[in-house]
Each structure stands twice: as C-alpha cells, then as structure tokens.
Amino acid sequence: MAGLEELEVSTLMGITGFIIGIAFGWVTHRTNFCAMGAVSDIISFGDWRRMRAWMLAMATAIAGAQTLHLMGLIDLTRSIYLNSAFPWLGIIIGGLIFGFGMVIGGGCPGRNLMRVGNGDLKALVVLFFIGWAGYMAMRGILAMPRIWLRDLLAVNLSSFGLSDQGIATIVSGLTGLSPSVTGPVVAFLFAAGLAGFAFKDAGFRRSPRHVLAGLLLGGLVVAAWAATGILGYDEFEPVQITGLTFIAPTGDAFQYLMTWTGSTIKFGIATVFGAILGSFISSKLTGSFHLSTFVDTPDTVRNMLGGVLMGFGGILALGCTIGQGITGMSTLAAGSILATLSIIAGGVAGVKYMEKVLDI
C-alpha cells in the first residue's frame, strides 16, 4: 500500500477532507449543534447552552490554530481571512444577509448538510440554492453587485502600516510591540475569555452533549488547518490553506458532480460529501433517519429564498457560521469577528421575522 508521501496532494486532500467531513456530520448529528438554534434558543427560551457550545468551539479552534501558527507549522497569513484589505461594510451586509437567510432556510449550510444525511429532502433543495447563488456570487451574474458591495467604503490597512487585519497585528501597530509578543497574548485572552464564558454556566457544564460539541467542532477546524497547511504543503503544487467552511465548497461540490470526468477533488468538496455521509451513518445507527420534505408552498418559498440569501451573503461575508464563526475566528481576523457578530444580528432579525410569520 502506498504511503501518504507517495499520494498526489489533491488525492491526499480529498481523503483527509472526506474523513474530517464525516466526523463533522457525525458530531453535528449526535450533538444537535446548530448556530441558528443557538440564536433561537436564547430568544425563545433564554437557553444559552448551544451558544456557549459555539463559543467553546471558537475558543478551541483559536487555541489550536494559533498554537500551530506560532510553532511555525502552518501560516495563517496565507488564508483568505488575514490580508490588508478590510471590506468592513461588505462583511457587515453579507453577515446580516446570511444570518437572516439561515433562519428562513432552516439552518446554516453545515446544519443543512447534516439534515440531508438525516433524510431531509428540503435541506437538499436549500443546499442547491446555497451552491447556486454562491457560485453566481463568486463567478456569475451576482459577482458584480457582490464586488461593488465588497469595495464600498473598504479600507486598505497597508496604508496604516499594517500587513494584515489580525487583532495581534493591529495591537502591535498601536503599541509598537512585536507581533511575537502580542500574538500569544491576544490568542490566550480570546481563547480563555470565550472558554471562560462558556464554562461559567452550571447548566452548560452539566451538559456533556454541548461541551463535546464545542470541543470536537473546534478540534475539527484545527484538524482542517493542519491537513491543508501541513499535509497539503507543496511548493510545486500549492494548496489553499483553509479550515472548515461550507459556502463556496457547496457550489464547488455541485459543479464537481456535473463535471466529474474533468475535475479534481478538493479539500472543501470532500468535506461536503463527508458531512452528508457522517450524518447518514449516525442517523441510521440511532434509528433517526427518515425522509421528510416541505410542509406547504410558503415553506418551500421561504427555504429556497433562505438558500439564495445564504449563498450570496456567505460569499460577501467570506464565510458562514462555521467558515467565519469558527474557522475565521481562529485566525483572530478583525473581519471574522465583525462577520460573526453580523451573522448573529441577522439571525436575531430572522427569528423575530419567523415569529411573526408563523404567529408564534
């Protein structure tokens, strides 16, 4: 059997992405993790446990990714999150659009991948519209308005002497301290602060399901960084370093299925297929797999619209609740923090809207 070093980088990335995707689907199904649910739980029931699980996932991902970066094993500055261009208004608008869309679309892309594996056919339709709108926003007819919104009032931080939008870099620029000093300090403060907030609640501490959701999902993001940044490193065949994200990969996955004979598997595409399989295996083992579909015409229209909003908004915001809310947060990029807060705000607006629509 050929060793890992004998495999082509694209094949290795496909294998590792598929495995990480399976683990993601399994974990989200078993723990019922859902960022949209985290927002709605707070508004409807005053229950913060899923939100604390999300924060613990952020803390875990920050601790792991920053450790790998500081050790020189991966270079987070090569990611899409850390650059000097700071389209702050576009990120806010994209996050708000995505957050609203994830509520009326029944959950974020990661949640819908899990639901497809569990037999939810309307989640498959939502994923199609996410991928369709996302691809149009990247390379199609929606690219023009997306680029216009991205560049609207955008700031280039290099004009202020900053190499990227990392919080540690910004602190270094303001204080004159070396990034080698500010990096570990900023990473520790963020990770400790988020983890401390999560664990300060006794109800959260007594819920193994929520604690495991945070630790495992954060760990999977770190695994993705390690896979693409260490295993995927090849000076002759470079791979884009990335963590877990599901907006662009969903569109890429549909394109891959349509052009399979001339396409090469990518890490992100493999995670999409893996997530569905992981959820399917878990649902079959637990006996929860069952086919379901739309309730009525308004339900169909809402979910389709939610998919479109998530696809466009997610590309504009450079990620989703996983892609920005955990992966982006692990880089401690200012844009990722802004995107995550905007997604949550959009989610709150979406929950309020759905309460009126459904007359709850």
Separation between Cα atoms, residue 172 and residue 170, nearest integer Å: 5
Residue 1 pLDDT level (bands cut at 50, 70, 90): very low
- Are 312 and 142 contacting, i.e. CB atoms less than 8 angstroms apart? yes
Please, what is the end-to-end C-alpha distance for the chain in angstroms?
59
Look at residue 90 and give its three-state secondary structure.
helix
- Are 38 and 103 contacting, i.e. CB atoms less than 8 angstroms apart? no
Could you report the per-residue pLDDT of 248-269, keeping only the tens digit for each?
999 999 999 999 887 889 999 9
Q: Where are the beta strands (DSSP E) in 194-303?
A: none
Mean pLDDT value of segment 77-103: 97
Residue 214 pLDDT level (bands cut at 50, 70, 90): very high
pLDDT greater than 90 at residue 7: no
Could you report the per-residue pLDDT of 158-205, keeping only the tens digit for each?
999 999 999 999 999 999 999 889 999 999 999 999 999 999 999 999
- Name the burial class of residue 122, with classes exposed (0-12), middle (13-18) and buried (19+) by CB atoms within 10 angstroms of its CB: buried
- Are 194 and 215 contacting, i.e. CB atoms less than 8 angstroms apart? no
Residue 233 pLDDT level (bands cut at 50, 70, 90): confident
- Are 316 and 69 contacting, i.e. CB atoms less than 8 angstroms apart? no
| Per-residue DSSP letter, 333 | B
- The pLDDT, as a whole number, for residue 145 is 97
- Are 199 and 49 contacting, i.e. CB atoms less than 8 angstroms apart? no
What mean pLDDT, rounded, does the chain reach? 95
Sketch the domain layout of the chain as residue ranges.
9-357
Task: Compute CA distances 99 → 93, 173, 314, 342, whole Å.
Answer: 10, 32, 9, 7
Q: Which two tokens stand for residue 250?
A: 């969903």
Separation between Cα atoms, residue 273 and residue 35, nearest integer Å: 21
CA neighbor of 61 nearest in space, from 230, 220, 226, 168: 220
pLDDT greater than 90 at residue 326: yes
Look at residue 195 and give its three-state secondary structure.
helix
Separation between Cα atoms, residue 11 and residue 5, nearest integer Å: 11
Residues ≥6 apart with Cβ < 8 Å to 220: 20, 23, 24, 27, 244
Separation between Cα atoms, residue 6 and residue 321, nearest integer Å: 35
Residue 237 pLDDT level (bands cut at 50, 70, 90): low
- Run of H or E including 86: strand 85-86
Q: Indicate the residue type of 243.
A: G
Mean pLDDT value of segment 214-220: 98
Could you report the per-residue pLDDT of 327-343, keeping only the tens digit for each?
999 999 999 999 999 99
- The pLDDT, as a whole number, for residue 225 is 98
Could you report the per-residue pLDDT of 291-306, keeping only the tens digit for each?
999 999 999 999 999 9
- The pLDDT, as a whole number, for residue 9 is 85
Separation between Cα atoms, residue 172 and residue 151, nearest integer Å: 26
Which neighbouring-strand residues pair with 166?
333
Question: Which residue matches tokens 């907006």?
Answer: 247
Could you report the per-residue pLDDT of 79-89, keeping only the tens digit for each?
999 999 999 99
| Residue with the larger pLDDT of the pair 3 and 244 | 244
Could you report the per-residue pLDDT of 31-54, keeping only the tens digit for each?
999 999 999 999 999 999 999 999
